[in-house]
Structure 1
Amino acid sequence: MRVFYAWRFLGMRTFDKPAIDVPSQIELLKQRGLLIQDEARAQCFLQSVSFFRLSPYMRPFQQSGDVDHRFRDGTGFRQLTRLYDFDRRLRLLSMDAIERVEIATRSMISNHMGPNYGSHWYTDIGMFQQAFDHQRLLATLQSKQCAAIRDYERECLRIDRLQAESGRKAHLKRQRAKESYARHYPTTYDQPPLMPGWAMLEELTLGDLSHSKRWVFLKTGTRTLSGILYALNRGIASGRLLQSL
């Protein structure tokens, strides 16, 4: 509340900007000094990419401190779209690289920990650093399995209401149970109560796996961490993880 009242003294006012259609957006840009050679193409672009989304890419080309947001002389619409396209492509490349590193990290942890410490190695608190919230990890996974079971039970009820033979209903239920491992494991196995480590590493997000002050959650004493990081660094350095970049 203190922050809210502080903002009240910073010249706040009632919002009164009208919503305008694409042709009006084109006219507004022209009034601000933007050069638009092909208005039909510009309209097509703004129908696919909203004016609001494009706004941040306008700022580098606008006159500094101008309350009317006028563009610098000679600025064309094509410059805005090129900057937008560059940013879009850069984000796609970055996300592709991040995804490859993330998948490789999960795989390297799984390939080392499973064979060396068993299928359910992550249930042993001794495998983790002291700062890691081990109980939260287990609770998150348990919650995910329970939510998957609840969804499955609701689907089974819908299947039971179908006008179909019992064999067909049973087949549909088996198919639904296989749609995710969070469903499959608790409907197939009763011990141990949680899924194996290789499935856990794929089902949980990196955020779920990093409930600690440091992202490094495994104990270095297990000789796991150094080996995983070494293999990961070699994969990145050699380009094997980023072959498409």
Structure 2
Amino acid sequence: MFSKKAFTIQEQIAQLQKRGLHIPNTQLAAKYLSNISYYRLGEYWHSMQSDKTTHQFKTNSKFKDVIALYNFDAELRLLLFDVIEKIEISLRTKLIYHLSHEIDPWWFQNLDLFTDSMALVKTLSNLQEELERSKDVTIKNHFKNHKDDKRFPPAWKSLEQTSFGALSKLYGNLKPTVKSKDTIAKELGAVNHTYLPSWLQSIAQIRNYCAHHSRLWNRNLPGTVKLLPKPPNPWIIDSVNVPNQHEFIHLYVHMCLMKYLLNNIQPNNNFRNSLNNLFVKYPNVDPNALGMKPNWQKEPLWQ
């Protein structure tokens, strides 16, 4: 049975010091711990411990380095959230445009277009909840002006209310025979529908981590992604910088895919400089914890 009692902030600091974490300014540490929980910060000092059972820290482990890691991770989430926003808006736009023209404005509720009808029903159920909660004037006016139309509002209204995760599921669930599935993949540089779904799913997962302020640094990410054997647009040419299959769990490969998509959406983006500046700002952060490769900035992908 779990029997640990809650520690006061002073007790938390005393325990960390006893375990070997250098905290010269206990007043400042108390300020941090009153705003960032001990448990949350623990995700950042865990790697500093030489013994994970007794929680003893390695020699020269410092509280200020824990805070630096925490701040780096927070800024990294903000950076990636901004990149993912552009990818999300582009995907939403392309889905609405191409499929509304190929099929009709209500394509997203047409069971015949999707491989997994049960998954679609779940997606539509979530969408209905979003529309019912929506305070958007466009949605309210649509339901007011079209009371006799029992369908969802058309794609250009409905899909503006749904999440990136739902959009990625809609795209991945489309049957291969739907022409727009390949059209969208080609416009984003992914050649065909075979590769893009895994990219979008992984990016949607990372978006959720960002939205919920979860740690990205030194995190093993779920799932794998399919890499193009011969990307049509600038990618990585030095073999030492290409992610290997077993390294798909690291953030680096996912950031490479974000950069690849962003280069098609916004060619003159500053993702590389922003990411590089983050490592410069926090020199004590180990890039290997993100799976970063040597000289990644010099690859055609990141130029």
Q: Aligned pair 1:73/2:31, yes or no?
A: no
Q: Aligned pair 1:230/2:177, yes or no?
A: no
**Aligned residue in 1 for 2:115:** 130
RMSD: 3.0
2:14 to 24, 27, 33: 27
Q: Which runs of 5+ in 1 are unaligned?
A: 1-12, 152-177
**Aligned residue in 2 for 1:173:** none
How far is 1:89 from its partner? 2.1
CA contact (8 A) 2:83 2:262 kept: no
Distance 1:62 1:144, change over 3 A: closer
**Superposition map of 1:78-227 within 5 A:** 78-126=64-112, 128-133=113-118, 134-142=120-128, 144-145=130-131, 147-148=132-133, 179-193=136-150, 194-208=152-166, 216-227=172-183
Q: Relative contact order, CA 8 A, sep 6+: which one is greater? A: 1
**Aligned residue in 1 for 2:51:** 64
How far is 1:29 from its partner? 1.4
Query: 1-side partners of 2:85 and 2:35: how far apart?
Result: 27
How far is 1:204 from its partner? 2.8
CA contact (8 A) 2:262 2:269 kept: no
**Superposition map of 1:6-21 within 5 A:** 13-15=1-3, 17-21=4-8
Question: Highest CA radius of gyration, 1 or 2?
Answer: 1
Query: 2-side partners of 1:25 and 1:183: how far apart?
Result: 51
**Aligned residue in 2 for 1:10:** none
Distance 1:132 1:101, change over 3 A: farther
Which letter maps to 2:144?
A: T
Q: Which runs of 5+ in 2 are unaligned?
A: 190-232, 234-260, 272-303
> Which stretch has the larger CA shift, 39-48 or 92-101?
92-101
Q: TM-score, normalised by structure 2?
A: 0.56
Q: TM-score, normalised by structure 1?
A: 0.67
1:53 to 40, 61, 75: 40
How far is 1:110 from its partner? 1.0
* SS of 2:51 mapped into structure 1: coil
Query: 1-side partners of 2:139 and 2:180: how far apart?
Result: 26
Q: How many residues align?
A: 199
Query: 1-side partners of 2:185 and 2:84: how far apart?
Result: 15
CA deviation profile, 1:123-169 (whole Å, cap 9, x unmatched): 4444x133344555555545555x45xx9xxxxxxxxxxxxxxxxxx
Distance 1:23 1:185, change over 3 A: same
Q: Sequence identity, in percent?
A: 25
Which letter maps to 2:263?
A: A
